A and B are shown apart, each in its own frame.
Chain A
Amino acid sequence: MAIRIIVDANPIISALIGGISRNVFFDKRFEFLTTEFTLNEVKKYIPTISKKSGINEEEINYALRLLPIIVVFREEYEKYILEAERWIAEIDKKDVHILALALSTTKISHFGQRQLRHLEAELSTGVSPVA
């Protein structure tokens, strides 16, 4: 069974511009999930990548569509958003959706402070493995 990994926007951006993370996404040992919110953040940045690279937006959008990432809609993790905000909004508000998705996927809400610190460290690297 594939290991589920929740990805923030940074590894997706990195993959799109040819960074090291691009190979990991195609490793069948893993299953990648992200939120619609995160995907929209990436989409908003595509015009900038296009401008900086000289590659047209359509092509970059095509690359984004090729990534085997499951996009989870807000309704799926909505009830964990408040909890995620309590944990992380003061540290980094933009990670609330990713944390809410992680909470909905792992029942990590039952974890203690030590696990939270570990999770924060994972979020800061942009990649968070889940059970």
Chain B
Amino acid sequence: MGFGEKMETKIAISKNLIPEVEVFVDRFGFKNETEFVNDAIKEKILALKRDAFIKVTGRIAKGLESKGVFEKEILADFEMHRG
């Protein structure tokens, strides 16, 4: 199966969420519930990735700061490395 191709998987959604999904599908112009759920999952994954990314890069930034290295120097050094 190629990237982006759809694979059908059954996922149970809590009963109390279904009426809300229906409201938002209608009001925000989603084609159907599937499109809404796919969009919601995509957003959730992006948010989780962002949180993880901020954590790791925060540690990198702290490590650099503790050694007195700043972004400008790193970017200049990187340019030199690239040649």
Contact = CB atoms under 8 A, between A and B. Distances in A.
Given A10-B75, A17-B57, A49-B74, A66 B82 contact: no
A45 B78 CA distance: 7
Interface string B50-61: 101110111111
Counting contact residues on chain A (CB < 8 A from B), the size range is 20 to 34
Interface of A: 9-10, 13-19, 22-23, 25-26, 28, 41, 44-45, 48-49, 52-55, 59-60, 62-63, 66-68, 94
B67 A26 contact: no
A28 B41 CA distance: 13
Contacts, number: 88
Interface of B: 43, 46-47, 49-50, 52-54, 56-61, 63-64, 66-67, 69, 71, 74-75, 77-79, 81-83
A28 B50 CA distance: 11
Given A10-B75, A53-B60, A66 B52 contact: yes
